[in-house]
Amino acid sequence: MKDASLNSSSYLIGYARVSKGDEQSNATQRRALDGAGCRRVFEETASGGRWDRPNLQEMIGQLREGDVVVVWKLDRLSRSLKDLLHIMERIQLAGAGFRSLTEAIDTTTAAGRMMMQMVGSFAEFERAMIRERTSAGLAQARAEGRIGGRRRKLGDKQCREIAESVVSGRKSGAEMARLYGVSEPTVSRIVAAYRQGVEVGATCTR
């Protein structure tokens, strides 16, 4: 892919967006984009958290190598870091560059490309940390005998007492449910597992 450095043949394409319900208009953005030399500006009224914005999709679909997408502020392109990086990747794959006038980000320069790479690296680091915390939480839940994130209501010994009392006829299911503070369906599952020779502890949740 050729470098999308700005030169006399670069085609600057502006993108302006305001959210639905906002009192502001695209006028300020449009003036800034026109002043930057944009030959065409795609304007949109939509939430910055949505990726499937029609004018944004149309703009990306029309990008050619050497084009440069220009926005007034970075959040005009997207308020979501994940979507922002995805949009930036689409722009890069088209062989185009990107400029944000307010933040002075310009991927047509080496410094600008390095900055976006750093942002992407931090985002990937954050995703990796979230995955690690999730895995650690699930491992801790399994170690504590929780299933599906819920703490067990009864221990194995209590489950066996419930099952043996009901099966022997000493107590009814309703009585054991009231005694141990669980629901009758839970008692029914414990008893059914006991009769089938299955470990009853796995059924001991509310």
In a domain, residue 122? The reply is no
C-alpha 12/C-alpha 39 separation (Å) is: 6
What's the pTM value of the predicted model, to 2 decimals?
A: 0.54
Token reading at 175 = 């009585």
> Residue range 65-75: average pLDDT?
92
Residues 104 and 160 both lie in one domain: no
Q: How far is CA 67 from CA 3, 35, 71, 149, 202, in A?
A: 11, 17, 13, 50, 60
Taking the C-alpha atoms of residue 37 and residue 29, their distance in angstroms, rounded to an integer, is: 13
User: What is the spatial distance between Cα 53 and Cα 44, in angstroms, rounded to a whole number?
Assistant: 8
Residue 151 above 60 pLDDT?
no
The pLDDT mean for the chain works out to 79
Task: Note whether 177 and 153 are within 8 A (CB).
Answer: no
104 and 161 share a domain? Answer: no
Does residue 94 fall inside a structural domain?
yes
Give, for 14, the enclosing helix (H) or strand (E). Answer: strand 12-18
In a domain, 1, yes or no: no
Contact, 19 vs 47, CB < 8 A?
A: yes
Which of 108, 140, 167 is the C-terminal boundary of a domain? 108
pLDDT, residue 4, reads: 41
> What pLDDT score was predicted for residue 5?
41
Q: Higher confidence at residue 64 or residue 150?
A: 64
CB 38, CB 68: distance < 8 Å = no
Give 17-85 as a DSSP string.
Answer: EE-TT-S--SHHHHHHHHHTT-SEEEEEES-TT-S--HHHHHHHHH--TT-EEEESSGGGT-S-HHHHH
| Residue 116 or residue 21, greater confidence | 116
Per-residue confidence at 203, pLDDT binned at 50, 70, 90? Answer: low
197 in a structural domain: yes
pLDDT band at 154, cuts 50/70/90? Answer: confident
The CATH number given to whatever domain includes residue 91 is 3.40.50.1390
Q: Which of 19, 47, 80, 188 is catalytic?
A: 19
DSSP 8-class letter at 201: G
Same domain, 37 and 93: yes
* 97: containing domain: 12-108
Q: Which residue has the higher pLDDT, 112 or 33?
A: 33
pLDDT average, residue stretch 60-68: 92
Measured between alpha carbons, how far is 83 from 62 in angstroms, rounded to an integer? 19
pLDDT above 90 (res 150): no
Q: What is the pLDDT of residue 138?
A: 72
Are 103 and 16 in the same domain? yes
3-class DSSP state of 102: coil
Q: What is the CATH number of the domain that holds 190?
A: 1.10.10
Q: 149 lies in a domain?
A: no
Interatomic CA distance for residues 13 and 64, integer angstroms: 11
Read off the pLDDT band of 2 (50, 70, 90). very low
pLDDT per position as a tens digit, 156-176: 888 888 888 888 888 888 888
Q: Please tell me whether residues 20 and 93 are part of one structural domain.
A: yes
CA–CA distances in Å: residue 16 to residues 28, 95, 133: 9, 21, 38
Query: Encoding tokens for residue 198?
Result: 């299955």
5 is catalytic: no
pLDDT of residue 22: 62
How many independent structural domains does the chain possess? 2
